[in-house]
Amino acid sequence: MKFSKRILKIKPSPTLEITARANNLKAKGVDVINFGAGEPDFDTPSPIKDAAIKAINNGKTKYTPAGGIIELKKAILQKFKRDNNLNYDVNEVTVNCGGKHSIYNLMQILLNDGDEVIVPAPYWVSYPPVILLAGGTPIILETNEENSFKISPEKLKSIITSKTRAIIINSPSNPTGVTYSQEELQNISDILKKQDIIIISDDIYESLIYDSKKFINMANLSEEIKKKTIVLNGVSKTYSMTGWRIGYMAGDEAIIKKVEILQSQSTSNPCSISQWAALEALTIDQSLISDMVNLFNERRTILTNKLNQIPGVSCLVPNGSFYTFPNVKEIYKFRGWKSIEKKYSNENNSVILSSYLLDESRIAVIPGIAFGCDLNIRLSFAASKENIIEGIERIKKAIEKLV
């Protein structure tokens, strides 16, 4: 079969691969503890589900404008004002079929063949493929763990070329949980403001933030930077609505218009019922978010404390998201490593370790190489306290066998 060059550049998502293997084992009755989840383990709150049911009963089941219903657009404008102190016009926002689709749309309308997009590593798995699918080239900006995985402005400056079209800033980050302060964003923006580069601020984990840190994004820095920034967000993570597929973006009216044209000729509108549910999510009493954050915060403390007690593991405490990204490079030097390396030959170290943990202790984690960093693995704390405690005990036993 002959396929397009575009699709041949893309590999299946490694996070989905390990989750599929874990699910396979679960289906066979094996007691797997899953630290791979990329979604909150809570149900969508009832008022949001009720709004969707009401929408169905009221016949909101037909096509909507490609960029979303006006009621939802207005709620998004209010949300930006309320939570981010950002003012947009209704022509400067659009609704897409999930945050991933927002990024996909953006890349499709912005990039020509060979245009470069700067992607700080460790990065969310979907950024490079989405750029490649649009004919662009992901330029990976390495960060280091000693610097808490934060972008070095000097390094950033050194990789900008005449082909650089955009940069993605994801704070809080998937997979590291790293969250940028105003000063750190300011230092990055000092480099970017002199350049003709679009800043894509992926704020999908905005509300999952700890240690009394205040969320801030690039668009907050100045009117000049706001003009260069497209802010992406969605309801998936904040309201436990991953399956509803609603994302949105705000920024330059000309960009938004092109995204709506593309969407009108591809997916048409985002699901009408989900749009009414998202409207409810953005406008109900937002204290349900702090309840979820408090729970995640407790689990974060347990998980990072326990991880740091495992031989060969060192884990930074994430300030945001629901992920930890422990460094496991010392494990690769353990006496028993050679034998498992032999068993899972031709794989990256983080894949070998993840496979070993799944086979040996029925624990699913995501290999760091999926995020561009083979020295780490990703564990999500979208798992119950009991599972975190039991799961870490199992990992510890498996690793102690290798020491």
CB of 332 to ligand PLP, least distance (A): 26
The position carrying tokens 């950033």 is: 156
The single residue among 202, 206, 260, 374 that binds ligand PLP, judged by CB under 6 A, is 202
Closest CA to 204 of 152, 167, 241: 241
Q: Is 234 in the site for ligand PLP (CB under 6 A)?
A: yes
* Whether the bond into 172 is cis, omega within 30 of 0: yes
Q: What would the two tokens of residue 191 be? A: 């480099």
Q: Does 247 bind ligand PLP (CB under 6 A)?
A: yes
Q: For ligand PLP, which stretch binds (CB under 6 A), given 93-101, 217-225, 281-289, 364-372?
A: 93-101
Q: How far is the CB of 317 from ligand PLP (least distance, A)?
A: 19
Residues 302-341 within binding reach of ligand PLP (CB under 6 A): none
Comparing CB distances to ligand PLP, the nearer of 100 and 300 is: 100
Q: Which of 126, 131, 68 is nearest to 100 (CA)?
A: 126
CB 337 to ligand PLP: min, Å: 30
Whichever of 188 and 352 has its CB closer to ligand PLP, that residue is: 188
How far apart are the C-alpha atoms of 42 and 241, rounded to whole Å? 9
Q: How far apart are CA 234 and CA 262, in angstroms?
A: 19
362: region left, alpha or beta (phi > 0 left; psi from -120 to 50 alpha): left
In whole angstroms, what is the distance from residue 100 CA to residue 104 CA? 6
Q: Is 14 one of the binding residues for ligand PLP (CB under 6 A)?
A: no
Q: Is 124 in the site for ligand PLP (CB under 6 A)?
A: yes
Question: Which of 236, 240, 324, 361 touches ligand PLP (CB under 6 A)?
Answer: 236
CB-based closest residue to ligand PLP:
99
Torsion angle of alpha carbons 335, 336, 337, 340, nearest 10°? 160
For residue 214, what is the DSSP state? P
Residue placing its CB nearer to ligand PLP in the complex, 36 or 99: 99
Residue with the two structure tokens 């979604």: 39
Residue from 248, 231, 95 nearest 169 by CA: 231
CB 228 within 8 A of CB 193: yes
Mark the segment that binds ligand PLP (CB under 6 A) among 69-77, 96-104, 207-215, 274-282: 96-104
Query: Is residue 174 a contact point for ligand PLP (CB under 6 A)?
Result: yes
CB of 360 to ligand PLP, least distance (A): 27
Whether 84 and 218 have beta carbons less than 8 Å apart is answered as: no
What minimum distance in Å lies between the beta carbon of 188 and ligand PLP?
Answer: 17
Q: Which is nearer to ligand PLP, 259 or 310 (CB)?
A: 259
CA distance 33 to 391: 6
Query: How many residues touch ligand PLP (CB under 6 A)?
Result: 13
Give whichever of 174 and 324 is closer to ligand PLP, judged by the CB atom. Answer: 174
Phi, psi of 97 (to 5 degrees): -90, 60
Closer Cβ to ligand PLP, 236 or 263, answer by number: 236
Q: Which of 349, 371, 378 is nearest to 13 (CA)?
A: 371
- Quote the least distance from Cβ 171 to ligand PLP, whole Å: 10
Residue 100 as a binder of ligand PLP (CB under 6 A): the answer is yes
Q: Give the neighbor-by-neighbor strand order of the sheet with 377-380.
A: 323-324, 377-380, 366-367
Based on the shown chain and the rule CB under 6 A, indicate whether residue 170 belongs to the binding site for ligand PLP: yes
Q: Is 204 in the site for ligand PLP (CB under 6 A)?
A: yes
Q: Rounded to 5 degrees, what are φ and ψ at 304?
A: -70, -40
Nearer to ligand PLP, 124 or 356 (CB): 124
Complex with ligand PLP: residue 126 or 195, whichever CB lies closer: 126
Q: What residues contact 135, with CB distance under 8 A and at least 6 apart?
A: 6, 111, 112, 113, 114, 115
Nearer to ligand PLP, 87 or 268 (CB): 268
Q: What are phi and psi of 217, to 5 degrees?
A: -125, 175
* Nearer Cβ to ligand PLP (250/399): 250
Question: What is the smallest separation between the CB atom of 79 and ligand PLP, expressed in angstroms?
Answer: 15
**Binding residues vs ligand PLP (CB under 6 A):** 38, 98-100, 124, 170, 174, 202, 204, 234, 236, 242, 247
